[in-house]
Chain A
Amino acid sequence: MCSCFYTSLKYYLCMSRKSVKYHGEREIKILKLLSKRMQDRSHVMKYLDVLLSFLNKSVKDPGMVSLLLLLNGKTYNFRSLVCDCFIAFTDIRREALLAIQDIIAYLGMESTSKIINTVSPLLVDAELDVRLCICDLLESLAKIDFSLDDVVRIMSLFVAGSFASLVSDFAIVTNNWFLTCRQSVSAI
């Protein structure tokens, strides 16, 4: 138990150094590059399985789990280290979701089911940026599986709507807007 703790701690201390990349980061970068070159359908299916393994909730990092169990919510100095680990996992998930989006055009209807089964449990506790990536992914999937339209509308309409309203608010900021502001200030 004790050696397990120190191994985990050593691993995560190493991970926290900027020069050392966290587990999975290098792999996901390679996979992202691969996704740009994937065109063969049989290879794409295998590649999808690899990407989904990064998202599978049932696959846990044993080192991470043992460390969290030992910390058990108590306030230790290296609590921020644990937060870093979570950020790293969020990054990996986000990148994997983006990489899947890149290959959706080469996937068939049968893959949508596999993707949804893996992605949907993430919605139970994922951070907002991962949730937004999931919404985008679902939107892309709806282009090959029309039955998803209603769910996508519920899940992503508001995301798109809120961003659209935000963007439209900025759209009024043009050269004329600055001139009008300047004139208003001069008048005062």
Chain B
Amino acid sequence: MNAISAMEVDDLDYEKIVNAYVEINADFFIKSSEQHTMIILSQCIYNVSSESIMLRGSAQKLLSSFIDFSASILCREAPAHSEFGKEVKNADVSWTGDRVLCILRNFILKHIGDAINRGGIIIKVH
């Protein structure tokens, strides 16, 4: 995710980074521990403010994917609302609703808040 272009030594190799993002999906989160996921999410937050539209897009997609994954975990713990719950019946037991909420509040929402406080252009993404 920090690939350097072979053509321009000082520049990032955007294509390789985007391909790396493609590899990370819900299955990756299921297999990974919270700590390992945080490494990827930190990289993701870094790329969300990238000047490259490709990188921003990939990072935003991954964040959305993590939020969907979080919803799955939360729904698994509350089966009454299980629109997403069925997808992660085999999810690793290490992921709990509390931990997922903690990441959403203390990491993702925190950084969104920091970005808003810093100002600049805020783009609404559907």
Contact = CB atoms under 8 A, between A and B. Distances in A.
Judge: A and B partners, yes or no: yes
A123 B36 contact: no
A154 B62 CA distance: 14
Interface string B41-71: 0110110000000000000000000000000
A162 B1 CA distance: 11
**Size category, B interface:** 20 to 34
A123 B37 CA distance: 12
Interface stretch (A14-22, A60-68, A94-102, A143-151): A143-151
Given A150-B36, A165-B6, A124 B20 contact: no
Interface residues of A, number: 30
Contact of B36 (A132, A148, A163, A169): A148
A124 B16 contact: no
Contact of B13 (A121, A123, A162): A162
Contacts of A159: 2-4
A179 interface: no
A154 B6 contact: no
B24 interface: yes
A169 B6 contact: yes
Nearest to A159: B2
Contact of A162 (B16, B33, B39): B16
Contacts of B24: 154
A113 interface: yes
A138 to B, nearest CB: 7
A158 B3 contact: yes
A162 B43 contact: no
A169 B9 CA distance: 13
Nearest to A129: B2
B35 A120 contact: yes
B36 A151 contact: yes
Contact of A123 (B4, B16, B46): B46
Contact of A124 (B4, B31, B45): B45
A76 B32 CA distance: 46
4 residue pairs, one from A and one from B, having the closest CB atoms:
A158-B3, A123-B42, A151-B36, A158-B16
